[in-house]
Amino acid sequence: MQSSSKSQVLRTLGRVERYQSALHLLDLYPSTVLTCHYKIPHHLITAPAGQQELEEFWERAVARNILQHPLMQVGQANEDSAEPAWVRLDTLDLSRHISWRVVSSSEDYPTIRKKILQGQLSMKFVDLETRPGWRMVVLKQESDDLMEVMLAWNHPHFDGTGAKIFHETMLETLNNARNSDLPVIRNHILKTVVNKQNLPPPQETAGNYSTSFGYMADTIWEDVKPRLFGWASTPPTIWPAISPKPYETRFRTLTIDNQMLQGVLVACRAHKTTLTGLLHAIALISLTPQVPDEVLEVTGSTPLNLRRFIPARSEAFPDLEPDKTIRHRIKTTTDDSNLATCADIMWSVSTRVREELQEKLSQGLKNDLVDMMGFVADWREYAKEAQRKPRAATWLVTNLGVLDGEDGSDQRADRWSIHRADFLLSADVAGPALTICPVAIKGRDLTINVGWQGGVVDDELGERLVGDIEKCFRDVAVTR
């Protein structure tokens, strides 16, 4: 039985956490998913107890991994307030977080998989005060030695890089922990170890953020300018339209084999750009012919991982190791691009995007929006108002990079490994209309998931973008 939330408060949510919490509360962004396909060691496949032994072992391994990540052990109190808070939970009932779906040979695996993913992307998290905001679905074909682990989470708890860290530490736990090292779980109940000392601090206090007067003035001016000039008499053109209903996340998945991926990366290096820059350029070229005449520009955005700028084990936060910590570490850079119509600008746009990303990173924590977020008193009101404004970005590219699926060791039949990953975002009602989410396994395939809000964003935009990315990658890999 949990203690009262008041006595268990660990800290209030930070600025980015409160913003994400408001989106969840208002049904604007329910969930994020990172799936990994794990290869099961031979001895667990052939064990006499079979599926039951596999599920019990997996639960104990997940429990041990969770104990490394305090933000997976906390509840959230006062979600519908200006100051929600993280609260300590004495125990977790893992049966409420982990579920299994074994697919028989007579069932259609791809159809079942897609239905589960769409459900996870549309399903909010409930009972936040007594249950951490994450869940896991393990999908396995009856006679297969691969199982897909779908980790879904509420964004205030951590970001995509945090989910990637979870899967990496999960693989380490599976391969390196002896059976005696795994916690004993009775009736699926895990005792937590989270406290005020090991809970990661808010992003704004963990790093040395600073803001110049010029940046502050420009940011505030960009926010108030439309209301002073024009919006009162001429409503802005919002494209694609913003509507909370109907709410459905639609997505398409591209799988790029490693040979083609290496060809694309060689071409990117030759043009002094990156995969992220190339995807921005393709999105710009793909969407341009679809833009209404009254829309003067389209905008791309990319979140940046700022863990490198956060000091590890400082005197103030001795337990903080940013590279191993699940939490929010994001910074957004935007690429405002005037409408273009020719595909031959692709490499110049790609290069410019890379240069802008590098320029943002070179500033470290200076002139970052996180510092400006302190001016917002109530993120619920901010999120409501955002639905009446033009989208801050037309598309988003969020690249999780490469995950080492072999845990730094040679693949053997007695070891766990990861063979594939997929990264998917829920449709963001007032955010970017299209999301482009690449992630790769070292030495294996790259997957790119393109998502949008069905019934609000035209399916043709998403389908065309998927086709253009596929064609461009194929052409670039051949003609590099």
Q: Find the CATH number of the domain harbouring 279.
A: 3.30.559.30
Q: Give the integer Cα–Cα distance in Å for 193 and 280.
A: 42
Quote the domain boundaries for residue 246.
210-479
Cα 312 → chain centroid? 23
Q: What is the pLDDT of residue 341?
A: 38
> What pTM was estimated for this model as a whole?
0.86
Q: Give the integer Cα–Cα distance in Å for 470 and 461.
A: 14
**Domain for residue 2, yes or no?**
no
Show which of 162, 195, 228 is a domain's final residue.
195
* 169 and 238 assigned to the same domain: no
Cα 85 → chain centroid? 22
Q: What is the pLDDT of residue 255?
A: 98
Q: Give the integer Cα–Cα distance in Å for 102 and 140.
A: 5
**Domain for residue 408, yes or no?**
yes
Q: What is the pLDDT of residue 326?
A: 38
Domain count, the chain: 2
Query: Tokens representing 38?
Result: 């794990």
* 365 and 221 assigned to the same domain: yes
Q: Write the CA distances from 425 to 138, 318, 435, 440, 469, integer angstroms.
A: 19, 33, 7, 16, 18
* 328 and 458 assigned to the same domain: yes
**Domain for residue 204, yes or no?**
no
**Domain for residue 203, yes or no?**
no
Question: How many other CB atoms are found less than 10 A from the CB of residue 42?
Answer: 13
Contact present, 82 and 386 (Cβ < 8 Å): no
Closest CA to 394 of 476, 306, 285: 285
Contact present, 437 and 418 (Cβ < 8 Å): no
Per residue, what are the HEC states of 359-384? HHHHCCCECCHHHHHHHCCCHHHHHH
**Domain for residue 205, yes or no?**
no
Q: Give the integer Cα–Cα distance in Å for 254 and 248.
A: 20
Q: Helix H segments across 177-320?
A: 203-206, 213-228, 258-270, 275-287
DSSP per residue, 425-460: E---TTS-SEEEEEEEETTS-EEEEEEEETTTS-HH
Q: Give the integer Cα–Cα distance in Å for 267 and 345.
A: 15
Q: Helix H segments across 124-159?
A: none
* 153 and 191 assigned to the same domain: yes
Closest CA to 171 of 53, 68, 44, 38: 38
pLDDT in tens, the chain (480 residues): 454 445 599 999 999 999 999 999 999 999 999 999 999 998 888 766 689 999 999 999 999 999 999 999 999 999 999 999 999 999 999 999 999 999 999 999 999 999 999 999 999 999 999 999 999 999 999 889 999 999 999 999 999 999 999 999 999 999 987 777 788 789 999 999 999 999 998 876 665 655 666 656 666 656 655 555 554 445 567 899 999 999 999 999 999 999 999 999 999 999 899 999 999 999 998 998 888 888 877 889 988 765 444 444 444 434 434 343 333 333 344 444 433 334 457 888 888 887 777 777 667 666 666 666 776 889 999 999 999 888 989 999 999 999 999 865 666 778 999 999 999 999 999 999 999 999 999 999 999 999 999 999 999 999 999 999 999 999 888 876
Show which of 195, 225, 242 is a domain's final residue.
195
Residues in Cβ contact with 86 at an 8 Å cutoff, skipping those fewer than 6 apart: 9, 10, 11, 12, 13, 71, 74, 75, 76, 77, 199
Q: What is the pLDDT of residue 183?
A: 81
Q: What is the pLDDT of residue 235?
A: 59
Q: Write the CA distances from 100 to 92, 143, 179, 282, 318, integer angstroms.
A: 18, 15, 22, 38, 38
Q: What is the pLDDT of residue 223?
A: 65
Q: What is the pLDDT of residue 389?
A: 87
* 232 and 175 assigned to the same domain: no
Q: What is the CATH number of the domain that holds 14?
A: 3.30.559.10
